Amino acid sequence: MNEMPNCIGCGTIIQTDDSKAPGYAPASSLEKESIICQRCFRLKNYNELQPVALTDDDFLRILNGLGQQNGLIVKIVDIFDFNGSWLPGLHRFVGNNPVLLIANKADLLPKSVKKQKVVNWLKQEAKKLGLKPIDVMLVSAHKGMGMQEAMAAIDEYRRGQDVYVVGCTNVGKSTFINRIIKQATGEKEVITTSYFPGTTLDMIEIPLEDGKAIFDTPGIINHHQMAHYLDPSELKYIMPKKEIKPKVFQLNEGQTLFVGALARFDFIQGARAAFTVHIANDLQIHRTKLEKADDLYETHRGELLAPPSEKYIDQLPELVRFEFSIKEAKTDIVFSGLGWITVQNANVVIAAYAPKGVEVQIRPSLI
Ligand code: GDP
């Protein structure tokens, strides 16, 4: 086989197989004299960033590298996938650098949700995981909500130093950076790429007025994200583009809800009660009797219970059961990467199921 050329932009070896991996260029471009990878092409021509995938070793190298820099770390998480978008160990690596936590996709929150409650919940969860952010902000990179405030906060907290934006894939980091690029540079072509210290990974460098820069570090893959259990063609079902419309179910003890084949919710014990489902509008909720639920899942996952559809159902890990005895009214059962179900009544016992690796947690309602 001929040796593959390097990208004239970032120097990565060109490959033509995996459009999501670094160095991808369409096979037809190999005939050209100087080849540029798709990512550099888009960056150069549209000032637009494309996400690339990373290995776990790269992930560790990035975390290590961050500890050696001085500057503000901006960590982006997905409000709907807090656990799935957490970077474990980040707090150990960042040393004394302040971390600003930015929670993205706020546009999906139903109007009834109180923003301050979301912020408080995020602070608490971060603390539980060992991180004490300097501040927590909600944004919608997609809609532009909260972006000016986020930019102002970044400028304040960086105290004249560089900024490193980190996050795992699917949280909307590229969308966020693209917004910053447009705001910070207008249409000028001033964006460059440089290698992340100690790695061969390139990162985007957005210059700031005082000679410092905002660096976009490569997106990190978190294997336990719900998003990785679905085929890209089916991601649209769990990643809504529009505000979530809560759906209320009045259930009797002994009833079960299935969320496609991705999650299950059993009402085990308690008086008739209301449960409000906050999950992407396009996901089908199927109600059945608890006694029939195992059988139904066994025989109908991938068909009646989808996504994933039949073609992809075998890639989905088994569902794992978590039981909760709920004493307080208005308690959320949070399925990381999917959304949550609010238990409206007190004194009920429920069980929640999610694919192995995906977290299920409870929290006081955000409403
Ligand atoms: P990255 O992998 O972190 O770089 O994420 P992307 O920027 O590629 O975004 C991942 C997915 O989330 C895409 O489908 C985006 O359209 C979507 N997304 C990004 N930001 C937002 C947001 O603020 N709101 C909503 N609803 N979707 C978003």
* 92-104 per-position pLDDT tens digit: 888 889 999 999 9
For position 185, what pLDDT does the model report? 65
Report the interhelical angle of 173-185 vs 147-157 (nearest 10°): 80
**Chain segment 14-55, per-residue pLDDT in tens:** 899 988 788 889 888 888 777 888 877 776 666 555 555 566
For position 186, what pLDDT does the model report? 63
Which residue puts its alpha carbon closest to atom 7 of ligand 1? 172
Residue 163 placed within a domain:
yes
For position 51, what pLDDT does the model report? 52
| Ligand 1 pocket mutation pick from 170, 173, 245 by most atoms within 8 angstroms of CB | 170
Q: Cβ contacts of residue 201 below 8 Å, gap of 6+?
A: 22, 54, 58, 61, 62, 195, 217, 218
pLDDT at 194 exceeding the cut of 70: yes
Of 30-34, 112-116, 248-252, 357-361, where does mean pLDDT reach its minimum? 30-34
Same domain, 95 and 219: yes
Spacing, Cα 170 to ligand 1 middle (Å) = 6
For position 148, what pLDDT does the model report? 95
Q: Please give the number of the atom of ligand 1 that sits closest to the Cα of 51.
A: 4
Residue 51 placed within a domain:
no
Same domain, 193 and 302: no
- Average confidence (pLDDT) over 2-10: 76
Kindly report the backbone phi and psi dihedral angles of residue 227, in degrees, each rounded to the nearest multiple of 5, phi listed first.
-55, -30
pLDDT at 179 exceeding the cut of 70: yes
In this structure, the residues whose C-beta lies within 6 A of any atom of ligand 1 are: 51, 104-105, 107-108, 140-142, 167, 169-175, 219, 239, 241
pLDDT at 256 exceeding the cut of 70: yes
Q: Please give the number of the atom of ligand 1 that sits closest to the Cα of 235.
A: 14
pLDDT at 230 exceeding the cut of 80: yes
pLDDT at 12 exceeding the cut of 60: yes
Residue 284 is encoded by which pair of tokens?
């089908």
Same domain, 79 and 156: yes
Same domain, 302 and 349: yes
Which residue puts its alpha carbon closest to atom 15 of ligand 1? 172
Which of 159-193 are b and which e, b meaning 16 or more Cβ less than 10 Å from the residue's Cβ? eebbbbbbbbbbbbbbbbbbbbbeebeeeeeebeb
pLDDT at 1 exceeding the cut of 60: no
| CATH code: domain of residue 89 | 3.40.50.300
Tell me how many domains the chain contains. 3
Spacing, Cα 174 to ligand 1 middle (Å) = 7
**Chain segment 263-277, per-residue pLDDT in tens:** 999 999 999 999 999
| Ligand 1 pocket mutation pick from 43, 175, 239, 242 by most atoms within 8 angstroms of CB | 175
Residue 338 placed within a domain:
yes
Q: Please give the number of the atom of ligand 1 that sits closest to the Cα of 76.
A: 3
Mean pLDDT of the chain: 89
Same domain, 179 and 285: no
CB under 8 Å, gap of 24 or more: what pairs does 64-68 form? 64/93, 64/198, 65/196, 65/197, 65/198, 65/199, 66/90, 66/93, 66/94, 66/97, 66/164, 66/166, 66/217, 67/93, 67/94, 67/95, 67/97, 68/197, 68/198
Spacing, Cα 61 to ligand 1 middle (Å) = 25
Bigger pLDDT: 55 vs 262 = 262
Same domain, 190 and 145: yes
Which residue puts its alpha carbon closest to atom 20 of ligand 1? 172
**Chain segment 120-147, per-residue pLDDT in tens:** 999 999 999 899 999 999 999 999 999 9
For position 47, what pLDDT does the model report? 56
For position 22, what pLDDT does the model report? 81
Spacing, Cα 253 to ligand 1 middle (Å) = 38
Interface confidence, given as ipTM, is: 0.99
Same domain, 16 and 116: no
pLDDT at 282 exceeding the cut of 80: yes
Give the whole-angstrom CA distance, residue 193 versus residue 201.
Answer: 10
CB 230 within 8 A of CB 238: yes
Spacing, Cα 6 to ligand 1 middle (Å) = 29
| Ligand 1 pocket mutation pick from 20, 142, 281 by most atoms within 8 angstroms of CB | 142
| Domain coverage including residue 2 | 1-46
Give the whole-angstrom CA distance, residue 249 versus residue 91.
Answer: 40
Which residue puts its alpha carbon closest to atom 12 of ligand 1? 172
Spacing, Cα 268 to ligand 1 middle (Å) = 36
Bigger pLDDT: 68 vs 58 = 68
Residue 305 placed within a domain:
yes
CA angle 338, 50, 217 (to 5 degrees): 85
Residue 268 placed within a domain:
yes
CA dihedral 138, 115, 140, 104 (to 10 degrees): 50
- Average confidence (pLDDT) over 62-88: 90
Spacing, Cα 176 to ligand 1 middle (Å) = 8
**Spatial strand order in the sheet of 331-335:** 247-251, 273-279, 339-343, 331-335, 360-364
CB atoms within 10 A of CB 70: 10
Residue 236 placed within a domain:
no
For position 114, what pLDDT does the model report? 95
Calculate the CA 93 to chain-centre distance. 21
Spacing, Cα 241 to ligand 1 middle (Å) = 9
Give the number of C-alpha atoms closer than 13 A to the C-alpha of residue 226, restricted to the C-beta side. 32
Spacing, Cα 30 to ligand 1 middle (Å) = 31
- Average confidence (pLDDT) over 248-272: 98
For position 7, what pLDDT does the model report? 79
Bigger pLDDT: 184 vs 177 = 177
Same domain, 147 and 89: yes
